[in-house]
Amino acid sequence: MEIWINPACSKCRSAISLLDAEGADYTVRRYLEDVPSEDEIRDVLARLGLEPWDITRTQEAAAKDLALKDWPRDDASRQRWIKALAEHPKLIQRPIITADDGTALVARTEEAVQDALSRNKS
């Protein structure tokens, strides 16, 4: 499994601590440095079963600069949102865990991390 993190984020550090405590096998992706492409964002959204606006941090400065709150949330605008996430990765909600079973989840709670761990047990 892979976890997208920002090391400055307390929720990310908590998720990593929990994964380590469980002895999980995972790869860390510091997504602010190793920025996901638009295709990778589309793939993660499909795995999450979410839309790009569902994983957008609308309180970030970049979101306010782009006036994201005013953007339509519809199929016609979906690509515009994905492009914004790729160009401004700080807007991506974190941490995101991609599980070995093909799913993904936003792991902001201990329960979500446990859910990701359960998806990776064979």
Q: Which residues are catalytic?
A: 9
Cα 99 from Cα 119, distance rounded (Å): 6
- The 3-state secondary structure of the chain reads CEEEECCCCHHHHHHHHHHHHCCCCCEEEECCCCCCCHHHHHHHHHHHCCCHHHHECCCCHHHHHHCHHHCCCCHHHHHHHHHHHHHCHHHECCCEEECCCCCEEECCCHHHHHHHHHHCCC
